Amino acid sequence: MTSKPDKIPAKPPPARGRTPVSKPLSTASTRAKQVTTTKPASVAEKKPLRTPGASTTTQSLKVSEKPTRNPPNTRTPATNAKPRVNITKSNPPSTTKPGPSASTSGAKYSPPLSATPPVSTKEQGPTPTSDPLQVAAQLYPWMYMTSTLEACFQTAEEAARKDLEARAKLVEEEESEIADQRIRFEAERAADLYDELATDLFAKEAPSIMQTFMSHGDACAQLEAEALQLATQGAIEPDEDAPLQVYNEMLDNLDTLHTEAVELESSILRLTSQRPDDQEPTSENNSTARSQILSVFAACLPVLRARISNLSMAQDLIDGAQENLSISLRMESLGLLD
């Protein structure tokens, strides 16, 4: 007898109104499940960690061991549901530094010193180098710039020097022409003056009159002082034979000076009143010089008049002293005086 194969047990009939369709889960549902399973881990990460290291790793593992609830799937029957492995990534050990604990809350928290020095905000200069190529590359621009500037300065200085030399030559030529003209002009003026002095009577009389005026003033001053002394004190060495001779000589000297003063006054008046009508026409400069000289001679007239009056007064004073002396001598001769 041949053995018949065992019958395959029949599948239970599906529930009424449901069709047994086994579909794999979509990617979106899988992501949703993973989000729901990893949600407690993210919550755990947001909490402040007090102790770093193994405690953080242990806490993340505990959170991953908690059973996750799958959302009900109404489309797939319970028989076709495949067990899924909950894969959660364990968080790496936190590298955050623990904050100050409750026990050390009263103390000041000092951050740990960093191993690297702080970067300075100031610009640092180029580091010195010993490479000859780099040194040459750094020096060449400066050397080129200095040589170019020196060449420019030398060119400008040379151009300015040439301009100054040319201008100096022009000025020297102009000054030489002006100097020649000035010398010629002065020579012409001197020649005209000498010609006028040689032909003009004014030029001949004016110097002699002025010289006489000066000498007459000195003589008057000396003689007036002697006359005053003679009238007040008498003769220094009286002559017994002719005691009145000194007074007579003084009167003669005073009379001579008085006559000279009168003649000098008349000469000055004649010189100042003279007009160059009958002579050749003179230049403007010569007429100006003549007017200045005439004004000087006109100023001498009041001085001469004062001298004449002083000489007259001295004559009167000596004359009176002579009369007094003669009266005293006559009375003495008559025996009227003791």
Residue 31, pLDDT score = 57
DSSP track, 271-328: HHH--TTSSPPPPHHHHHHHHHHHHHHHHHHHHHHHHHHHHHHHHHHHHHHHHHHHHH
Cα torsion angle, 260, 262, 266, 271, sign: positive
pLDDT per residue over 107-152, tens digit each?
A: 455 555 555 555 555 555 556 667 888 888 888 888 999 999 999 9
Q: Read off the pLDDT of each residue in 323-327 and give the average, rounded to a whole number.
A: 87
Rounded Cα–Cα distance for residues 203 and 192 (Å): 13
Following CA atoms 37, 38, 43, 44 in sequence, which dihedral angle do they give, to the nearest 10 degrees? 110
pLDDT per residue over 261-290, tens digit each?
A: 999 999 999 888 876 554 444 556 667 777
Q: How would residue 29 be classed by pLDDT, with cut points 50, 70 and 90?
A: low
Residue 108, domain member (yes or no): no
211 and 188 in a common domain:
no
pTM over 0.85: no
Q: Which of 92-96, 229-233, 303-307 has the lowest mean pLDDT?
A: 92-96
Following CA atoms 56, 61, 66, 70 in sequence, which dihedral angle do they give, to the nearest 10 degrees? 110
Across the chain, what does the average pLDDT equal? 71
Residue % of the chain over a pLDDT of 70: 54
Residue 258, domain member (yes or no): yes
CATH number reported for the structural domain that contains residue 272 in this entry: 1.20.58
Residue 61, pLDDT score = 43
Rounded Cα–Cα distance for residues 38 and 115 (Å): 37
Residue 161, pLDDT score = 92
Domain that holds residue 209: 200-334
| 234 dihedral zone (left: phi>0; alpha: psi -120 to 50; beta) | left
Residue % of the chain over a pLDDT of 90: 21
Residue 145, pLDDT score = 92
Q: At 107, list the tokens.
A: 């103390």
**With 60 as the cut, is the pLDDT of residue 333 above it?**
yes
For residue 17, which of 74, 90, 79 has the smallest C-alpha distance? 74
163 and 243 in a common domain:
no
Could you say which of 168, 199, 230 is where a domain stops? Answer: 199
Q: Which of 28-32, 202-206, 259-263 has the lowest mean pLDDT?
A: 28-32
Residue 72, domain member (yes or no): no
The winner for highest mean pLDDT among 226-235, 267-276, 300-309 is: 300-309
Residue 19, domain member (yes or no): no
For residue 307, which of 192, 212, 232 has the smallest C-alpha distance? 212
Could you say which of 160, 176, 199 is where a domain stops? Answer: 199
Residue 215, domain member (yes or no): yes
Residue 296 neighbours by CB under 8 Å, 6+ apart: none
**With 70 as the cut, is the pLDDT of residue 236 above it?**
yes
Please count the structural domains in the chain: 2
Residue 65, pLDDT score = 45
For residue 93, which of 70, 120, 59, 62 has the smallest C-alpha distance? 59
**With 50 as the cut, is the pLDDT of residue 74 above it?**
no
Residue 244, pLDDT score = 81
Query: Contact 37/88 with Cβ under 8 angstroms?
Result: yes
For residue 46, which of 54, 37, 38 has the smallest C-alpha distance? 38
236 and 149 in a common domain:
no
177 and 291 in a common domain:
no
